[in-house]
């Protein structure tokens, strides 16, 4: 059984469709990413999956429970860490976890057993009795993740888990999330607008844009779909024979020549530069520069949508932002 199954899930706000007939599945134990700009529909989708928003059409199953008809079972089987901080800085780390456990009706004996386990899991055992106000941003984020794990959920949702963190803390948080998945086997769903985050963490990525999923694959599979690496060679003087003989090389997928350079799309570009230089020597072609560009998820997004992620964020619709704000308030009220 898949951890999550989504079938035709749709959410409309007045005349705007924030999520448009999405269908996909997430395997048990997988780290699955929802990648896209702010306003793409990621948070609206998550809020439906965790039952904070009702769908307009379609449905989904989380751990086999229908999000429409079995909301209590869905909530009991998942954990969620929202983008906005939700820990109480006046309480200690252990007290924050105890409060959360009470919300799930955990008995005192269960709480006393589980709290040290979770603090150890999130590398905060030595900080258990310190007020959260003294924690760094990364420590607070790990505590929030730990809180989401207190009731031993089968699926953990992380909504923009590293927003607002500095570069070093972001990297540490990635490594922690990766280790958490490996050690606990919990299925993790991450929403992010950071290309490098999705590339580092996720086994598969769903690229979202304007409420739709435009592609789902592993990061490597998505990048390979562009056709390979691009090596751009600066040329000086006649180069017709060199360019023509590129067509005979089975590892060259395409070429694009201008007066002063040729861009060559090929497999494993870093290993083929020597072959290109050798061919240039054979054809008495002078190479003045070599530039190797490997595909990125940014390139994939551009090829699929016609815009960069930054350009999409500049055109962010207000509907999802409003719905996210509303559902975040609802979630905090329930905590």
Q: Domain-by-domain residue ranges, the chain?
A: 4-77+153-222+302-334, 227-293
Report how far residue 268's alpha carbon sits from residue 295's, in angstroms, rounded to the nearest whole number: 11
Six-digit token string for 130: 């310190």
Report the pLDDT value the prediction gives residue 327, as an integer from 0 to 100: 47
Six-digit token string for 133: 């106000």
| Cα 66–Cα 53–Cα 156 angle in degrees, nearest 5 | 65
C-alpha distances out from residue 166 to 87, 122, 173, Å: 19, 19, 10
Report the pLDDT value the prediction gives residue 260, as an integer from 0 to 100: 87
Selection from 50, 98, 110 nearest residue 76 by Cα: 50
Return the CATH class of domain 227-293: alpha beta
**pLDDT value at 303 more than 90:** no
Report the pLDDT value the prediction gives residue 334, as an integer from 0 to 100: 44
Report the pLDDT value the prediction gives residue 122, as an integer from 0 to 100: 86
Contact predicate 147/96, CB 8 Å: yes
Q: Say what the pTM is.
A: 0.78
For 232-283, what is each residue's pLDDT tens digit? Answer: 999 988 899 999 999 999 989 888 888 889 999 887 788 899 999 999 999 9
Report how far residue 155's alpha carbon sits from residue 72's, in angstroms, rounded to the nearest whole number: 15
Selection from 15, 76, 82, 17 nearest residue 47 by Cα: 82
Report the pLDDT value the prediction gives residue 281, as an integer from 0 to 100: 93
- Binned at pLDDT 50, 70 and 90, residue 333 comes out as very low
Report the pLDDT value the prediction gives residue 95, as an integer from 0 to 100: 94
Q: Of 79-88, 270-279, 319-328, which range is least confident?
A: 319-328
Q: Of 62-71, 144-153, 205-214, which range is least confident?
A: 144-153
The fold of the 4-77+153-222+302-334 domain, in CATH, is: Rossmann fold (3.40.50)
For 233-243, what is each residue's pLDDT tens digit? Answer: 999 888 999 99
Contact predicate 304/207, CB 8 Å: yes
Report how far residue 103's alpha carbon sits from residue 152's, in angstroms, rounded to the nearest whole number: 13
Pairing mode, strands 155-159 and 187-192:
parallel
Instruction: Give the chain's mean pLDDT.
Output: 88
**pLDDT value at 139 more than 60:** yes
- Binned at pLDDT 50, 70 and 90, residue 180 comes out as confident
Report the pLDDT value the prediction gives residue 132, as an integer from 0 to 100: 95
Report the pLDDT value the prediction gives residue 45, as an integer from 0 to 100: 96
**pLDDT value at 320 more than 80:** no
Percentage of the chain beyond pLDDT 90 is 56
Report the pLDDT value the prediction gives residue 24, as an integer from 0 to 100: 97
**pLDDT value at 42 more than 80:** yes
């Amino acid at each position: 059984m898949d951890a999550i199954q989504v079938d035709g899930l749709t959410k409309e706000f007045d005349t705007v469709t924030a999520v448009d007939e999405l269908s996909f599945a997430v395997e048990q134990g997988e780290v699955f990413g929802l990648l896209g700009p702010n306003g793409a529909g990621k948070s609206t989708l998550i809020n439906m999956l965790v039952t904070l928003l009702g769908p307009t059409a379609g449905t989904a199953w989380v751990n086999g429970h229908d999000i429409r008809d079995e909301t209590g079972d869905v909530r009991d089987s998942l954990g969620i860490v929202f983008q906005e901080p939700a820990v109480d800085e006046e309480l200690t780390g252990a007290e924050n976890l105890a409060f959360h456990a009470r919300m799930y009706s955990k008995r005192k004996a269960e709480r006393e057993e589980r709290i040290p386990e979770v603090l150890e899991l999130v590398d905060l055992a030595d900080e258990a009795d310190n007020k959260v106000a003294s924690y760094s941003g990364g420590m607070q984020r790990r505590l929030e993740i730990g809180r989401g794990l207190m009731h031993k959920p089968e699926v953990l949702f992380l909504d923009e888990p590293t927003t607002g963190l500095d570069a070093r803390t972001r990297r540490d948080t990635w490594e922690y999330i990766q280790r958490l998945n490996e050690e606990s086997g919990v299925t993790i769903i991450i929403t992010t607008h950071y290309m490098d985050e999705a590339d580092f963490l996720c086994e598969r990525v769903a690229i979202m844009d304007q409420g739709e999923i435009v592609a789902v694959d592993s990061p490597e599979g998505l990048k390979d779909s562009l056709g390979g690496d691009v090596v751009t060679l600066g040329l000086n003087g006649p180069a017709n024979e060199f360019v023509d003989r590129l067509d005979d090389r089975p590892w060259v997928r395409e070429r694009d020549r201008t007066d002063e350079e040729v861009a060559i799309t090929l497999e494993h570009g870093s290993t083929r530069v020597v072959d290109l230089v050798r061919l240039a020597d054979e054809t008495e072609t002078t190479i003045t520069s070599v530039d190797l560009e490997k595909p990125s998820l940014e390139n994939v997004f551009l090829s699929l949508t016609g815009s960069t992620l930054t350009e999409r964020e500049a055109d962010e619709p207000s509907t999802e932002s409003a719905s996210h704000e509303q559902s975040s308030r609802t979630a905090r009220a329930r905590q």
